[in-house]
Amino acid sequence: MTGLSRIFVSAFVLPLIIVLFTSCVSVRSERAKNIIFMVADGMGLSNVTTARIYKNGIDGVPLHLETLSVIGYQRTYSKNSTITDSASAASAWACGEKFNNGEICKHEENGNAPRTILELAKEKLKATGLVVTSTVTHATPAPFAAHVTDRRCENEIARQYVQVTNPDVILGGGKERFDSNRADPCGTSGNLLLEAKTKGYELAYDKAEMEASVAKRVTKLLGLFNNENMIPEYKRISNTTEPGLSEMTATALAILEKNPQGFFLLIEGSQIDGGNHTNHFEYMVKDLLAFDQAVRVVLEWIDEKPLRKGNTLLIIVSDHETGGFAITGPSNTLSRKGDLNSMEVGWVNRKHTGGDTIIWSQGPGSQKLGRSLDNTDIFKVMMNTFR
């Protein structure tokens, strides 16, 4: 090679190779093998502030959910209302379209039912899971694995879980929805539990049975730990047979991680919303902190192996704020760690409110979430990030 040729390679070819290599690495880093989507139902930013003060003090360290590296926010309105409900909000995430309040990824006006991010994950041969503290057929988990025009059709949603979409892991409350003698508004009733067993599900009805299923290395688990919603954290007793959200989260990860193609997992702290709906301070704070412990479990799972951080998109978001919660005092002294009475708080009402909600995220694709978004945009980020 002549001196002139060497100069040409140095000046033009090598920089081009570097650019192409950098581009390839960049593209690769935008792809996620796993998506963990965590929902704090009804949570506003003031709820987070209050829970942090109670747990860690007025100048204490952030909650686990606050440690994620990317922060954005989303608009929450539904197709037909400034104030969304959980069904339309979760449908926007799951299907990437605006829906009317009450619709579960199915438009009543034309019957269109777009595929959900969970269904798209299954098409990629990924494992899938739903983990909640409400009934597993409630308005937030349902849009990821069912299509109905009325959120009250929880028996029908259960039927679709078992007979149609088959999420690998389903954990939460709502046993009666899978074994009902009374038809729901869609006309569905009947016992789905025996059919679930024929579809390969291990059934668990308490914490011990759930833990035993992990020890048996099952690949499909239906855990129903209460006939209705699970017990709120502030009412739980030490010897309860119901697993907590963090324990259900660890179980789901242990099962889903076995799939070499990756997984999609929804985790919902469902009853933060209940605390705000009832204007019950302790109820809200303790369920939010239980949700944050589930975030800790997820972050520890991600950090356990270096490849997981590069392969996992973690998103934490609230569907809407509930109650218009605010910290109103004290004005002349500081609130104290562990003392709810040292904070003065209030709510505007007992209903959902229409404000934007925060998105915390990390991992491949998360930089696209660090700005002002519509809730439908989150589906697009997830869909374009999944590999």
Which band of pLDDT confidence, cut at 50, 70 and 90, is reported for residue 17? Answer: very low
Q: How far is CA 212 from CA 9, 133, 175, in A?
A: 63, 20, 19
Q: How far apart are CA 380 and CA 319, in angstroms?
A: 16
Non-local (6+) Cβ contacts of 356 within 8 A are 73, 74, 75, 76, 372
User: What does the pLDDT look like over 270-315, one tens digit per residue?
Assistant: 999 999 999 999 999 999 999 999 999 999 999 999 999 999 999 9
Non-local (6+) Cβ contacts of 117 within 8 A are 35, 37, 93, 94, 95, 144, 264, 379, 382, 383, 386
Q: How far apart are CA 119 and CA 142, in angstroms?
A: 12
Instruction: Give the pair of three-digit tokens for residue 82.
Output: 């400034």
Residue ranges of the domains in the chain? Answer: 56-357
Phi and psi for 311 in degrees, rounded to 5?
A: -105, -5
User: What does the pLDDT look like over 321-365, one tens digit per residue?
Assistant: 999 999 999 999 999 999 999 999 999 999 999 999 999 999 999
Instruction: Give the pair of three-digit tokens for residue 165.
Output: 């979409």
Q: Amino acid identity of 177?
A: R
Nearest Cα to Cα of residue 320 among 291, 371, 356: 356
Q: pTM, whole model, 2 decimals?
A: 0.93
User: What does the pLDDT look like over 353-369, one tens digit per residue?
Assistant: 999 999 999 999 999 99
> pLDDT at position 30, please?
81
Share of the chain above pLDDT 90, in %: 91
Instruction: Give the pair of three-digit tokens for residue 377.
Output: 């945009």
Which residue intervals of the chain are DSSP H helices? 3-8, 14-29, 45-56, 86-95, 117-123, 142-145, 154-160, 193-198, 207-215, 245-256, 272-277, 281-304, 306-311, 375-385
Non-local (6+) Cβ contacts of 198 within 8 A are none
More reliable by pLDDT, 7 or 91: 91
Instruction: Give the pair of three-digit tokens for residue 122.
Output: 């299954």
User: What does the pLDDT look like over 189-208, one tens digit per residue?
Assistant: 999 999 999 999 999 999 99
Q: Which of 5, 23, 86, 246 is catalytic?
A: 86
User: What does the pLDDT look like over 146-158, one tens digit per residue?
Assistant: 999 999 999 999 9
Q: Is 180 a catalytic residue?
A: no
Q: Which residues pair with 265 in a beta bridge?
A: 36, 129
The CATH class of 56-357 is alpha beta
Q: How far apart are CA 267 and CA 253, in angstroms?
A: 11
Q: How far apart are CA 109 and CA 80, in angstroms?
A: 12
Which band of pLDDT confidence, cut at 50, 70 and 90, is reported for residue 23? Answer: very low
